[in-house]
Chain A
Amino acid sequence: MDPFGKYLKAVSARSTLKEVLKKAQDGGIVSTLFIYALENNILDGVVVADKEDEFLPKPKVATTPEEVIEAAGTKYSVCPNIAEIKKAAREYGCEKIGVVGTPCQIRAVRKAMKYPVGFRGVNIEFLIGIFCMENFPYNGLRVIVEELCGVKMEDVVKLDIGKGKFWVYTRWGETKTVKLKETHPYEQSSCHVCTDYTAELADVSTGSVGSPDGWSTVFIRTVKGKEIFSEAVENGYFEIKSIETVKPGLDLVKKLSLTKKEKNMKEIEHRKELGLPVPVKL
């Protein structure tokens, strides 16, 4: 099985923008690339996942670097980013739209781009995908944070998944964790038929796995992705390390990707046996 999908290059990278690093989940790749693209008129609007009180995710159209930075950081709950792409074109008048999304969302946009039946005048220019093992419905997330970790949602400043644990950081400076195994019952079940870990159809995909803390693993997949990423590097927006020199490197990404694919392929087969529908591939 192919673990990563097509890509031209993989690197380990980190933003050089201090304001981004303060708020970003990992190396700040998503926010920095969007900021670079907005500042250089490559994009005029990007759809990102912002949050309301109590870490409730909410999609938003951002047209300035400040708005991009506000939305940095991972929200471990469903955020229907794609619902806003038409709004970006119609209400914000954006002509070159960027979108960040989980692998399933990137797949959804690719379909809308190739079959734009309900998307008159919606021009999607650039897709950044984030790695994703699973997601949680909001109240699933709430149970994990409040019941399993004993933290009130209103006190959360950052959430993270890594090293086999779910991490909760509070505004009082505390860190709480719970074993990832205990969070499984709260995953959204539609994630269990998903066989894309690294956002295989994005222009650029990024995630934390494979690179050291504060750094990101980046796959540059398309010609457009390569152009924009290389220009951003040349203009000093990123520090880069060869992926072969960092630990744990691509081997771990590969292992996790294959684990997800194999597990979820099994679930798809299982559902077929039960006579349940599964996503139809043509």
Chain B
Amino acid sequence: MVKVAHVQLSSCCGCLISLTDTYEKLLEILNSIELVYCQTLIDVREIKECDVALVEGSVCLEDHHALEVAKEVREKAKIVVALGACAAFGGLTRYCKGNQLPKPVNSSFSPLTEVIKVDYSIPGCPPSPEAIYSFIKALLNNDEAYLKPYKLLAEMPEVCGCDLLYKVVNKELCMGCGTCSASCPTRAITMVDGRPVVDPVLCIKCGLCSFQCPRILYPSLLEEIE
């Protein structure tokens, strides 16, 4: 049995909902894991020693409790996964700037990846149930080839729709497939003249578009078709 903890920092719980949204597949996963900590689903107060911690949410630097939780997760889990945009890249909380009651000083939010060493980052707001399921399966099977893109992502806390310009369009790599546009949860990306145009007002820095772009990264396991 693989011991799994779900830890929520500054987040909306949408990533956990997405995980449970795998319906009967969740039961399949639950057969091979033991959920040792998850405040939403089970009554365990202390983070337990575990093999995998799925952490959602960013870290409020003015909230010492949150910082301690982040440190504790790193100590207690063998593998730490930043689940979703907030933990991985800050997501929506990149735009926080404080001055709201009842805690007007809570103003600075950093992705978990900037606070502790994270092993895998999964983009998305939220990541789809299917993707979370495949990720956990690959983790259980030790499928390193499949996990590699998520591993690389853990080293890149700064993402934005602008990545498409910097890394693809500006580098004569964009061939106009439109995958980035389809993946965006806020419809921030419109294809104009066969190129993505990102509305910065709509971008919530979830990292999906650049993760999905086949011209940034293409795992060779995809070449295997049956």
On A, residues with C-beta under 8 Å from B are 5-6, 59, 77-87, 101, 104-105, 107-112, 114-121, 135, 137-139, 188-194, 200-201, 203, 221-223, 276-282
Specify which chain B residues have a CB less than 8 angstroms from the CB of A111 in the assembled complex: 179, 212, 214, 218-219, 222
Contact A81 B128 (CB under 8 A): no
Closest to A117 in B: B131
Contact A80 B178 (CB under 8 A): yes
Contact B167 A277 (CB under 8 A): yes
Specify which chain A residues have a CB less than 8 angstroms from the CB of B146 in the assembled complex: 114
Instruction: Looking at the assembled complex, report how far the CB atom of B179 sits from the nearest CB atom of chain A, in whole angstroms.
Output: 4
Contact B217 A80 (CB under 8 A): no
Contact B194 A107 (CB under 8 A): no
A sample of 12 cross-chain residue pairs with beta-carbon separation below 8 angstroms, ordered by A number, consists of A78-B175, A78-B193, A81-B177, A82-B181, A101-B177, A114-B219, A115-B219, A116-B128, A117-B123, A188-B194, A201-B222, A282-B152
Instruction: Looking at the assembled complex, report how far the CB atom of B125 sits from the nearest CB atom of chain A, in whole angstroms.
Output: 9
Contact B212 A118 (CB under 8 A): yes
Contact of A282 with B219 at beta-carbon distance under 8 Å, contacts A117-B208, A138-B193, A190-B173 already known = yes
**Residue-by-residue, is B168-188 near A (CB-CB < 8 Å gives 1, otherwise 0)?**
000111111111011111000
Contact B215 A190 (CB under 8 A): yes
Specify which chain A residues have a CB less than 8 angstroms from the CB of B179 in the assembled complex: 82-83, 108-109, 111-112
Contact B178 A83 (CB under 8 A): yes
Contact A120 B175 (CB under 8 A): no
Contact B178 A279 (CB under 8 A): no
Sorting the interface of chain B by its residue count into under 10, 10 to 19, 20 to 34 or 35 or more gives 35 or more
Contact A190 B175 (CB under 8 A): yes
Specify which chain B residues have a CB less than 8 angstroms from the CB of A120 in the assembled complex: 18, 21, 128-130
Closest to A276 in B: B171
B220 an interface residue at 8 Å Cβ cutoff?
yes
A104 CA to B174 CA, complexed, in Å: 10
Closest to A113 in B: B222
**Residue-by-residue, is B205-226 near A (CB-CB < 8 Å gives 1, otherwise 0)?**
0001001101111111111011
A188 CA to B211 CA, complexed, in Å: 23
List CB contacts (< 8 Å) of B78-110 with chain A.
Answer: none
A137 CA to B192 CA, complexed, in Å: 11
B191 an interface residue at 8 Å Cβ cutoff?
yes
A85 CA to B53 CA, complexed, in Å: 33
B16 an interface residue at 8 Å Cβ cutoff?
no
B134 an interface residue at 8 Å Cβ cutoff?
yes
Closest to A109 in B: B179
Given contacts A80-B177, A112-B183, A114-B221, 5 further A-B contacts (CB under 8 A): A59-B178, A117-B127, A120-B21, A281-B220, A282-B219
Q: Name the 9 nearest CB pairs between A and B, nearest first.
A: A80-B178, A83-B178, A78-B194, A118-B183, A78-B176, A120-B128, A118-B208, A83-B181, A117-B131
Contact B211 A117 (CB under 8 A): yes
Contact of A107 with B218 at beta-carbon distance under 8 Å, contacts A82-B177, A116-B130, A118-B208 already known = yes
Contact of A107 with B216 at beta-carbon distance under 8 Å, contacts A117-B131, A188-B175, A277-B173 already known = no
Specify which chain A residues have a CB less than 8 angstroms from the CB of B208 in the assembled complex: 117-118
Contact B181 A279 (CB under 8 A): no
B124 an interface residue at 8 Å Cβ cutoff?
yes
A117 CA to B132 CA, complexed, in Å: 8
A135 CA to B218 CA, complexed, in Å: 21
Contact A280 B216 (CB under 8 A): yes
Contact B129 A86 (CB under 8 A): no
A225 CA to B162 CA, complexed, in Å: 38
Select B184's contact among A77, A118, A137, A280, beta carbons within 8 Å: A118
Contact A117 B212 (CB under 8 A): yes
Instruction: Looking at the assembled complex, report how far the CB atom of B222 sits from the nearest CB atom of chain A, in whole angstroms.
Output: 5
B9 an interface residue at 8 Å Cβ cutoff?
no
A118 CA to B125 CA, complexed, in Å: 8
Closest to A132 in B: B175
Select B194's contact among A79, A114, A115, A201, beta carbons within 8 Å: A79
Residue of B124, B220, B221 ringed by the most chain A CB atoms within 10 A: B124
Instruction: Looking at the assembled complex, report how far the CB atom of B25 sits from the nearest CB atom of chain A, in whole angstroms.
Output: 13
Residue of A83, A101, A105, A121 ringed by the most chain B CB atoms within 10 A: A83
Specify which chain A residues have a CB less than 8 angstroms from the CB of B174 in the assembled complex: 190
